[in-house]
Structures are given as C-alpha cells and as structure tokens.
Chain A
Amino acid sequence: AQSVTQLDSQVPVFEEAPVELRCNYSSSVSVYLFWYVQYPNQGLQLLLKYLSGSTLVKGINGFEAEFNKSQTSFHLRKPSVHISDTAEYFCAVSTSGYSTLTFGKGTMLLVSP
C-alpha cells in the first residue's frame, strides 16, 4: 500500500513571494505522482503529474514540481504567487496497475497582499 504525507497543513505567504509545498510518499513499487488544487466549494483540478522521464515537471498556472526518488519527495513550487493561488493543494499517488489515487491531507496556501 502507498501513503502520502503533506508536511504543512497551512502555508502563509505574501503575494509575489516564492512558495514550496512539501509532499513525501511511501510505496514499495514505482509510483505516479500528482498535484491537484481545490478552490473553495469546488472539485479538484489537476496542476501537474509525474509519470516517468524528466524529474522536473511543469504544470498549469506557473507551478512546477520535482520528483526525487531517493528522498521519496515530490515538492510543488512557484516562483511568484498571486492572491488567486489561495486554495488547498493535494498531493496524490497511484501505481502501475492500480489507478486509484491515494491523497495526502492537503496544504492550505494562504496568499496575502
């Protein structure tokens, strides 16, 4: 079985500052990794995903994430955040042959002016 740990429940940051949201996973087999964003009272929207190949993955809205197999991490970064990035961010994992997603508890990104 796999698991996901999001180390920060809340990350406050000022507008135009850089941000990193941390995600660590545990799995005995190769994984696929995902970051989803959830705005208030809405469903989840895919930001980016890592399947294989280049460990740096670029997604929508200027976000990127880096897969680090040795540290079993998949941290999400953005060089300059906007007020509109305020939302909850979920890291998730699936594996080859098992498409169900296992999610972390989420990190609330709070961007203030």
Chain B
Amino acid sequence: DTGVSQDPRHKITKRGQNVTFRCDPISEHNRLYWYRQTLGQGPEFLTYFQNEAQLEKSRLLSDRFSAERPKGSFSTLEIQRTEQGDSAMYLCASSLAGSSGETQYFGPGTRLLVL
C-alpha cells in the first residue's frame, strides 16, 4: 500500500495560466475527494468521485475548475485562467465506500502559488 500520491508537490504559475494536478488514490479505493486549504484554514471540500462518476461539486468550484477521473483510478484537477486567489494547498483523499464513517486517506497535497 503506497498511500495517496499527488503530483506535482509544488507549482508556481503566472496569473492567467492553466494548471493541472494529478492524484493517484489507494488502489482499491473507489471514492476520491478534492479539498482546498488556504493559509490558516481547514480543508474545504471541492468535489468527489465514486469510481468515474463525479457525484458532487461544491459552490467553491467555479467554472474555471474542472476535475476528471476517467477510468475510476487517478484523477486530475485543472484550473483555467488562474487567479491569485487560487493560491492554496490542493489536497486529494481516497476512501472505500460502503462502510459507515469511512476513513479518508489524504495525500501530501499540491501547493499552488499564483503570481
């Protein structure tokens, strides 16, 4: 079990550029979540997938954000036309659906800085 991995770990970009992050969940987990964490705050939910289906999106997820999980394994989160307010840590988590209070296992995060 290699845990949840995220790539890249750090990304610096200029305002207006597009960025894409990747998350590889624990292999047998069928649920995958994206959260955003800004300085001094707890993680905030963005979206989640069960297998390849995107089941819920937060109001935080503007039209510039899109997430995919094409084969029910890894997921990508793309931010188009980045803004300085997008600077944050983007966390991915995975879990196994079907158990009460299922535990979400988090990756190390991708820290985005928009200049």
Contacts and interface: CB of A to CB of B under 8 A. Distances in A.
B42 to A, nearest CB: 3
A96 B100 contact: yes
Contacts of B104: 46, 99, 101
B42 A42 contact: no
Interface stretch (B14-22, B77-85, B106-114): B106-114
B98 to A, nearest CB: 10
Contact of A105 (B35, B42, B56): B42
A103 interface: yes
Interface of A: 4, 6, 9, 32, 34, 36, 41-46, 49, 51-52, 90, 92, 94, 96, 99-106
B31 interface: yes
A44 B100 contact: no
Contact of B91 (A4, A43, A45): A43
Interface residues on B, range: 20 to 34
Contact of B108 (A36, A42, A96): A42
A99 B31 contact: yes
A17 B6 CA distance: 36
B48 A44 contact: no
B69 to A, nearest CB: 16
Interface string B65-109: 000000000000000000000000001010101001111111111
Interface string B42-54: 1111001000000
Contacts of B62: none
